[in-house]
Structure 1
Amino acid sequence: MEEKNLQFALSECKELAEKGYKAASEQEIKLRDALSVAQNELQKTIEECRKNTKNRAQSTNFLEEQLEEVRDSLKKISIGLHSDLENLRNNLGKFSVTLFGRTMAGKSTLMEILTEGDGDSIGKGAQRTTRDIRRYNWNGLEIMDVPGIGAFEGEKDERIAFEAAKNADLIIFLMTDDAPQFVEAECFSKIMDLGKPIICVMNVKASIEGKGIKLALRDVNKQFNLERLDDIRKQFLLFAEQYGQSWTHIPFIYVHLKSAFLALKTDEQEARRCYYDISRIGILKNQIEKQIEQKGKFYRIKNFVDAISNPTALLMENLLEQGQLNWTQRKTILDKKHYLNRWRNNFLDDGEARIKSLIIKIKNDLARESDLFIEEHFNDKNADNEWLKILKSRNIGKQCQEVISDLDAISKEKIEEISREVENELKFKSAFWKDKSLRMSRVVDSKKYWKWAFLTAEGVLTIAGLVTAFLGLSIAAPIGIATVVVGGLGILGGYLFKSREEKEKKARQDLKTKLTNYINQFCDDIEDKMQVSLKEIIKNIDGFMDGLTVDIVVLERLAEIQKNLAAKLRDCILEQNKFILLEAFQFIDVEGLDYPVQTVLRIPGNISLLLMTQETIIPQKLIKEIQELMEEKIETIYDSDCMDVLISRIIGVEKEKVAIDYSQQVVLAYISQEHLCTKIKTRLRLAQQYSKLIIVRE
């Protein structure tokens, strides 16, 4: 291809880039508004949570922190989307090609070849030669050389590389003819997830240093055994399956970069031509120019659209899964609260019965003791002291303390038991969803979430304080009352003028009446004080349940906010999907309205699934053209009003293998375990994108 053709194609790319920016910008504004609404709803929930200062639990404090983190995360996402879009806008006039690959794969060598450099940037065998992004121009293209992947302690380098890849219109992925490595495949799959067009370059390693031209040609050509190189390519493509992707459409170019570099540094014209020819670098240059001339305009539109669609799709999936997890955790807490409430009522009845039983026992014991006491002390000036001795000997305060302390211990143990059960069940639910959902990212951390120490510490201190105060009364009160009784005996002096027998009879009767009244009043007072202590224990249990209620409400609102936001994001995604398909129809000079597509489901760089009206057929030739343009698989299915039928069609299984549960806040669709494999992982994401359902294993 002549250079002027490339320059003409690049001039057209800018016009299409402006169109892509406009479309993406409109969607970004809608997303920003949706995210803002969610942030405001979260802020209201936070403020309501803060108002609840009574019975505030440590778990509620943590939930409040989680709400703040979610709110702040949504704000960062909104800022990030806008920033990414503006970065692309600032480069409207540039067509960006990013060199990506494993450390020492030859990225810097390729840069030197394209720019005809002096070789200073080429690595000398050490890892991590390129530590930052380097930009340079070649034939009007902006080429970015980014840090290599897979180096020891190269995590930061990889983050820099992937951030740069987000802005690229075309990725050149370099690998070597060594055995394919997992780290290469993993990074390749991540680039595919970005939806970027890719040219894969395999740099053949053949040593030619210090060799004559004929020997060098022989050794290089020997390494260019196509059967061997194709086998390495096939081995690499096998990695795609475990990521639910297909890489078969990716063009592979085999080159020997060392020869291409030597061609630049050799003065002798014939040697230069030989090195250039055996390097096959011309094939790579032609492939880059060809793709840009044929598809560059579409790449520019697609780059802007995918800059919004990709993160939006991932956010929607995470929101649905987090919302379902929060709703599941909310139900777990609610079930435990209902159980605890039933237990609390039974506990209250049992506590009142135990107190009543103790009071009856104390009253009967004191009544029996009073008969003997009357005979021995009806005319005793020290009767009050003697009665106090009897009360102390009966250890009434200790008996009351034991009952109240036991009830307090039982309530404490139950709260701790519920706390442990809730924590364990939340852990189980989290593990359950990790196992069954497509991907797990949860908001509530169960390990950190359930710390009920505030109940078992502060609550016990409160009850202990009441018991102590009560014990003081239970010992002191009889003294005061007994003194009144004995003081009352002083009125017997008026009867000394009567007969001794009558006076003794009267004294016994009066003392019996006063003791009986005293015992009744004393036991009533004790019962009242014990009931107060019991109410404090119940109050502590109720406070615990109030704390659960706050957390239930918070989780419910959070799940609802996530569900509503996911629905809005989904609408934006489908609108973007439809837009890019219509652009593809227009690009290949086909009127898209001739083929009534109801909905477009899309995983950028992987697959677009077209939901068609019944009896509508798109010619296979047209599908192939769109597939080659978009560089992702294009498939069609017929739409349906029956959700389980449609989901089964999207996933590619029989209708009977899909069951939908509408009973929960986030609707679930179950698929049989035997039909789950990595090949349909992408299909599951498409089904979720359309239905807003959580697809889980049955």
Structure 2
Amino acid sequence: MEDRTPKRDHLRTGDRGGTYRRALDACSRVAREEFSVAKAALDDAEQLGVRLKASVATIARRSPADGAAVEDARARLQELEAKLEATLSSSLRSTRAGLNAKHAALNHFTVTLFGRTMAGKSTIREAFTVGDGSTIGNGAQRTTRDVREYTWNSLRIIDTPGIGAYEGDEDRALALSVIDETDVVLFLVSSDGIQEESFKGMQALRHQNKPMLFVLNVKRDLQKPVFMRRFLADPRSVIEDAEMQGHIDRVHRLAGELLGMRNIRVIPIHAQAAYFSTRPEHQKYADVLAEHSRLGELLTALEAEVQHRGTVRRVQTVVDGTLVSLLDLQEELSEQAKTVKRAANYLKDKFGELDIWLDGFVRSANARAETEATQLVQPLRGTVSAFVDENIEREDVAARWRRKVKALKVDDWLQRQQSVILDELRGRLTEFSREMSVESKLVAAFDAMGPSTFDPWDVKRTLRRLSAGGAALAGVASVAFWLGGGNFWNPVGWVAGAVGVVALGLSWLFGDREQKLQRQKAKAAEQLRGSIDELERQVAGALKKWFYDSITSRLVRGIRNDTRQLYTGMFDVARTLDEGAREVGTILEHLNRRLLVRTGQFVGTPVPEERLARVVRDPGVRTKFLWQDEREDDRFCKQVGIAIGEWVDGIPNGPAVQQVASALRPAVVSPAKVSLSTQRALVRVPQREVGKAIGRSGSNVSLASRLVGVRIKVIPEES
């Protein structure tokens, strides 16, 4: 990368004593040291990713019994595996690419220019590099369409496309692609239109916790002779602080509202005057143009960043940049775990409801088999006496009885009973599938509103296949029975045998008709009723056996086993993802501790690393940590917080209620107002302190909960 530092002294502040050069050398050395730390952390994360993928693959490839629902469960779990693979690959690959890009720039302190189209970024670059002005736009179109970099004053300067330009999404993505390598951001706004959209476009940078210098470019066109004459006659009139104050106030307001940044510094410049000072046609007024462009004030601010905070900025870029990427991975794993667990609980509850219905269905079907069998033979039972009276003396009594039994059409009856059972079961499964489909849409809509839209499986598709598979199993069972049912029971044959015994018994009665006829009629009727009882038991037993073999044993048990395989597998995946998120959290805590300790060294407030116990952090917003002992070091927290641009608070070790109360700082909370249980802390906070205790979007109470390891609930204290 060619150093295009201009040879004109009026545009560079330089450092005659060499302090600036030594600061840059220190920045390079620190960057190399921290790179090894970040690389080791990323190596650990990648090894964790390998273990996670292997664990989820094992869960997804378990081999349960065959079945349509099991195959669908396995497919859903394999989708989770594929989703995890994509998450890990994308996140870790981009983190590795970002770290490699930083490695290539370890020896360079990097400054990146951001701003809307036509804000003046290219004009500044032309001034820095003593260019010919060819890249400066004419106001009608954007001129910087890709990322460009150059060296100025031993700094690596990156110029980006304009945020908010035509086709702005593409440009913004391109501009943000270099932010990970950036040590300091110059956010350029112009006096002809400080646009809210530009600040919204910069919101992504806050997640990266990048320090910013706000630069207000005064757009007073010196190409117009009247403005040039006015500038040369009274330069202060063009860039007077009082005249700029309204614009500066707007920058402060938007930075606070949209970027959450307070107490920012805004540096007014006239980029065009700085550029004109480098041009031969304006050589006569070069010094005046350069001095009153106030570009030197900006350059002084940059050199101050290098000399006073350069080493901290390099730690932030190398260590914090890697940390932020891994934080995204941790949050994604955690959100996926929650989503999968929520889906698994949903399935478990819904299939629990189905289980209860199936239990009742099995009981009622068995009871109904007996009731229906009784009703089937009832007409036969009612004709026994008349049949005996009419047929006891006939030789074809057995054949006549067989015809009466055959008239019951037992086979048709069994088919009807099976059809009723199958229709009821199929109808309930279809209704259940329909319920699940509707509810799954509601669940999906709810998930879409959350931090993660990850959909681990398709409930509607799963239940459609499940109900279809269940109907198919039932249908196969029915066909199997009717093809082979006669092999295990033949009611007509059994009854014929019984009636044959009756006929044989009657043959010797005719010799003593008057004395024994009534007694033998009673005996014959008893035998026939016994045969009917046995027929009833056989019919009910056959229906129950079919129901057990085809429905209870095969279908119902299959549904239960298959669905249990699905949701237990999903619970296992959720636990694995949770464990992965916790392990990433351990890596993050190491990096956060490293950032605090190294920053403390650079700002003159060193503390031993072992004094910092647990560290939790919302990058760019606030950091909380526990001291190992009861001593506090307010100076360490203050100086480190100023250096990294965050609110930093160290909580002293002590009783648990004291830790909870202190963890909610900056709110003032009395330990006496803390009610602590194993997993929860209920804290009564004065009404005026509630907002500070909770923090914006709950960030403060969330960090405090993570710090002390219990869920903190803040309750306004009654006056």
The residue number in structure 1 matching 2:542 is: 529
The residue number in structure 1 matching 2:699 is: 682
Tell me, yes or no, if structure 1 residue 463 matches structure 2 residue 474. Answer: yes
CA distance in 1, matches of 2:280, 2:370: 108
Residue 299 of structure 1 deviates from its aligned partner by 1.6
By relative contact order (CA 8 Å, sep 6+), the higher-ranking structure is 1
Q: Residue 451 of structure 1 aligns to a residue in which SS?
A: helix
CA distance in 2, matches of 1:396, 1:661: 67
Q: Residue 62 of structure 1 aligns to a residue in which SS?
A: helix
Residue 481 of structure 1 deviates from its aligned partner by 5.9
Structure 1 counterpart of 2:369, from 338, 355, 377: 355
Tell me, yes or no, if structure 1 residue 454 matches structure 2 residue 469. Answer: no
CA distance in 2, matches of 1:340, 1:279: 77
Contact 1:60 1:547 in 2 (8 A): no
The residue number in structure 1 matching 2:8 is: none
Structure 2 counterpart of 1:7, from 21, 40, 54: 21
Q: Please list every run of 5 or more consecutive structure 1 residues that lacks an aligned counterpart in the other structure.
A: none
Residue 181 of structure 1 deviates from its aligned partner by 4.2
Tell me, yes or no, if structure 1 residue 588 matches structure 2 residue 612. Answer: no
Q: 1:295-336: per-residue Cα shift (whole Å, max 9, x none)? A: 222322221111222122333344344434444443443344
Matches within 5 A, 1:115-194: 115-126=129-140, 129-177=143-191, 180-194=194-208
Identical counterparts, % of pairs: 22
Residue 446 of structure 1 deviates from its aligned partner by 6.4
Change (3 A) 1:357 1:490: closer
Q: Residue 225 of structure 1 aligns to a residue in which SS?
A: helix
Tell me, yes or no, if structure 1 residue 293 matches structure 2 residue 307. Answer: yes
Tell me, yes or no, if structure 1 residue 99 matches structure 2 residue 113. Answer: yes
Give 1:231's aligned amino acid: D
Q: In terms of mean alpha carbon deviation, does 506-515 or 543-552 score higher? A: 506-515
Q: In terms of mean alpha carbon deviation, does 148-157 or 443-452 score higher? A: 443-452
Residue 521 of structure 1 deviates from its aligned partner by 5.0
CA distance in 2, matches of 1:404, 1:362: 14
Residue 90 of structure 1 deviates from its aligned partner by 2.2
CA distance in 1, matches of 2:560, 2:375: 34
The residue number in structure 1 matching 2:571 is: 556
The residue number in structure 2 matching 1:642 is: 656
CA distance in 2, matches of 1:310, 1:43: 27
Residue 349 of structure 1 deviates from its aligned partner by 1.8
CA distance in 2, matches of 1:691, 1:431: 34
The residue number in structure 2 matching 1:313 is: 327
CA distance in 2, matches of 1:488, 1:638: 98
Residue 191 of structure 1 deviates from its aligned partner by 0.9
Contact 1:203 1:254 in 2 (8 A): yes
Q: In terms of mean alpha carbon deviation, does 57-66 or 462-471 score higher? A: 462-471
Q: 1:548-582: per-residue Cα shift (whole Å, max 9, x none)? A: 32223222222222232232222222222222222
The residue number in structure 1 matching 2:95 is: 81
Contact 2:502 2:527 in 1 (8 A): no
CA distance in 2, matches of 1:601, 1:321: 18
Tell me, yes or no, if structure 1 residue 230 matches structure 2 residue 244. Answer: no
Residue 195 of structure 1 deviates from its aligned partner by 2.1
Change (3 A) 1:168 1:549: same
Tell me, yes or no, if structure 1 residue 258 matches structure 2 residue 272. Answer: yes
CA distance in 2, matches of 1:119, 1:390: 109
Q: In terms of mean alpha carbon deviation, does 298-307 or 245-254 score higher? A: 245-254
Q: 1:381-434: per-residue Cα shift (whole Å, max 9, x none)? A: 698599558745x56556544544444344445445555666677777777788
The residue number in structure 1 matching 2:556 is: 541
Q: Residue 264 of structure 1 aligns to a residue in which SS?
A: coil
CA distance in 1, matches of 2:133, 2:682: 58
Q: Residue 225 of structure 2 aligns to a residue in which SS?
A: coil
Give 1:527's aligned amino acid: A
Give 2:14's aligned amino acid: E
Residue 610 of structure 1 deviates from its aligned partner by 4.1
CA distance in 1, matches of 2:301, 2:601: 24
Q: 1:133-181: per-residue Cα shift (whole Å, max 9, x none)? A: 2122212222222233333443333222222111112222222336654
Q: 1:474-532: per-residue Cα shift (whole Å, max 9, x none)? A: 9x956666777898899799889979999999998998688656645543443233213
Give 2:270's aligned amino acid: H
Change (3 A) 1:551 1:391: same
Q: 1:9-38: per-residue Cα shift (whole Å, max 9, x none)? A: 322322111111122223223333333332
Give 1:236's aligned amino acid: L
Residue 589 of structure 1 deviates from its aligned partner by 3.3
Residue 197 of structure 1 deviates from its aligned partner by 2.0
The residue number in structure 2 matching 1:604 is: 619
Matches within 5 A, 1:416-427: 416=430
Give 1:225's aligned amino acid: E
Structure 1 counterpart of 2:257, from 192, 214, 239: 239
Q: Residue 104 of structure 1 aligns to a residue in which SS?
A: coil
CA distance in 2, matches of 1:180, 1:650: 37
CA distance in 1, matches of 2:658, 2:380: 76
- Please give the TM-score of this superposition, normalised by the length of structure 2: 0.81
CA distance in 2, matches of 1:612, 1:492: 103
Q: Residue 98 of structure 1 aligns to a residue in which SS?
A: strand
Residue 194 of structure 1 deviates from its aligned partner by 0.9
CA distance in 2, matches of 1:57, 1:670: 47
The residue number in structure 2 matching 1:616 is: 631
Change (3 A) 1:595 1:348: closer
Q: Residue 592 of structure 1 aligns to a residue in which SS?
A: coil
CA distance in 1, matches of 2:188, 2:370: 84
CA distance in 2, matches of 1:661, 1:181: 50
CA distance in 2, matches of 1:562, 1:302: 28
Q: Residue 99 of structure 1 aligns to a residue in which SS?
A: strand
The residue number in structure 1 matching 2:217 is: 203
RMSD over equivalenced CA pairs, Å: 4.3
CA distance in 2, matches of 1:467, 1:51: 25
Contact 2:216 2:248 in 1 (8 A): no
Change (3 A) 1:432 1:612: farther
Change (3 A) 1:120 1:77: same
Q: Residue 649 of structure 2 aligns to a residue in which SS?
A: strand
Contact 1:24 1:304 in 2 (8 A): yes
Change (3 A) 1:420 1:152: farther
Give 1:234's aligned amino acid: H
CA distance in 1, matches of 2:641, 2:601: 14
Q: Please list every run of 5 or more consecutive structure 2 residues that lacks an aligned counterpart in the other structure.
A: 1-12
Change (3 A) 1:229 1:168: same
